[in-house]
Structure 1
């Protein structure tokens, strides 16, 4: 034991014992003095309040250390670690004291970092829309939230190619034309409502061309998802049960010629007129499908140059 461990012990008086007396006090607390020396020191303590205070401080520190070491030994024995009790008896326990950061300091530091993060988020929200127009088309900064990344990508990057439009129409035909009980959402008996509803959803006036001269009557129609918005599908059927579908959606091109997409036993003729895409799909067994497609194209505003 030394004076550094007892910072709260009263300072010795100028006439106090020399340094070797401190060792004697420590030996007295530890029970290491012979009987004669112990009795002499006890007599001295009765008249030396500074030495008596130091002995009391030594004893308090010794009792605290013994209590801590005993608690560590008991904890090791309860865990059942092999040789825990022997190790505790063989080597003295070491107590490491670390200063704790006050709770108010930790809370203040956390609040400061939160404020910094909020400020950066506000700054990024304000700056990204200004910087985004300078990005290359179709590129968005890595790690941006979807709503911010969308600002940097021009609308043209989302435009669907005519071939992709045709494949979307072909898949819709393959999915719904075999349906027997629910091939459409709204039947032909309510054609006026069907056309008004789909026109409103697509944001443009639609019309349903008649295919009666080819032996097909309207079954009805349904609303479908397109690439950049809603799309519509009208279904026709002949007496033999064969079906055709007319798929309508938005197009990035003002006018495209009539083209053909082949997929298995399905055929799709597709084109665009006044930024509206059209695709007529049917089975390959329909020999007049191209003729029907050209007729529909003309009925919906197409020109001979597209044929």
Structure 2
């Protein structure tokens, strides 16, 4: 960076925070900060703004990504392969953003992220945490997501009863949950049936059919007796989608049971798969 000795004080302080001052300039500015209360107050203000912007940006990165965005990214056309120019034809320039630009960009990205989250939350097919707060299905969805996160990392103990005992699985889960069902054959979707589990979610017995896809990822169908009063069903029950960190869930309600399809949030086809399962199970 060019010599900043005669630049405005806020610019010099920004350069100091970005570690862009030369050694003589740094020493001179640090001496000023040690003797000038106003300069020190400005330094503290700019450093606090920098810290706040970084925290806001880190918080934004932890926000879940909507299934619509995941699907758009996964189905996007791959970019064209870049052409590497010979060394002598490459442009010579260096981008070194200042502290002020970094702050402005961070706040802009935070604002865009907040606006995008608001728009996505307003879409009718998405389920927000605020909506779930007053929904009786929240407890069992929380448990299903937590349980999936735990057992999907298992290898030897992924299921309680293997797929080779399918007849026993049907009798076992029907007797325990009170839900009649068929084990969907999802070979056309490149899903292999692995077996079944039984667990408790929201204080209710839940049956679970476990599959693996071609990437080795776990896809699970969970069901329990109706949680909410049943409503007249159409041929295609409405599906609701939500994301819990890295887990995607698609829920629907049948004639006698509530269902949830669980898998990685990066799977852009969970809703399509859920619609097919709803017509089988």
Q: Shorter-chain TM-score category?
A: 0.3 to 0.5
Q: Greater relative contact order: 1 or 2 (C-alpha under 8 angstroms, separation 6 or more)?
A: 2
Which one has a larger percent helix, Structure 1 or Structure 2?
1
Scaled by the length of structure 1, the TM-score of the pair is 0.43
Structure number, greater radius of gyration = 1
